Amino acid sequence: MATVELLFSALPEHVRTARLVAAAVARRAGVDEAVLDEVRLAVGEACSRAVGLHVSQGIAKPVRVVLTEDEKKFSIEVGDDAPHQAVVGSAAAASGAPAATPSGSAAAHEEAADGEDDMGLAVISGLVDDVEVTADETGGLIRMSWPTTPAAETA
């Protein structure tokens, strides 16, 4: 079971709240103080990306953050409800949509959006050793984990 679960409306102003909550739970779970900055940044990047996807695709559902404390590790999952773009693209192509002419601009648009995504994902993969990014037609999920130190149980 998740230690703490957070749902927030896909608005930029709530990303900070997610960062603060994640850092507080990570600290309690025994994640090393030196690593908390990385947790804060990684969860912020993942949430910013999810908010961006929801806003750009007009998805009204909230962004999900699941924080789980295990014996030896602390995990964060950030989930969005944005259908994976490759799937959307192939679906449009399969339906034979009259996308032949505007496909150039659509492709350019996707490229630009991907570029922003890439920067956030680059930061996450540079920061976190254990990270997994998955996406399908129902949405995307970024799963990250950090080891916890048993010594933190002094409190």
CA distance 79 to 142: 7
Q: Considering beta carbons, is residue 36 or 88 the nearer one to another protein?
A: 36
- Contact set for another protein, span 79-118 (CB under 8 A): 116
Q: Considering beta carbons, is residue 66 or 128 the nearer one to another protein?
A: 128
Residue type, 126: G
User: Which of 72, 106, 119, 138 is the binder for another protein (CB under 8 A)?
Assistant: 119
Of the listed pieces 39-47, 85-93, 100-108, 141-149, which binds another protein according to CB under 8 A?
Answer: 39-47
CA distance 50 to 140: 8
Of the listed pieces 34-42, 57-65, 77-85, 106-114, which binds another protein according to CB under 8 A?
Answer: 34-42
Count Cβ atoms below 10 Å from residue 118 Cβ, excluding itself.
11
Q: Considering beta carbons, is residue 43 or 69 the nearer one to another protein?
A: 43
Q: In 14-103, where do the E strands start and end?
A: 63-69, 73-80
CA distance 138 to 57: 13
CA distance 54 to 51: 5
- Contact set for another protein, span 122-141 (CB under 8 A): 122-123, 126-127
CA-wise closest residue to 91 among 137, 146, 23, 32: 137
Residues within the interface to another protein (CB under 8 A): 12-13, 15-16, 19, 37, 40-41, 44-45, 48, 51-52, 116, 119-120, 122-123, 126-127
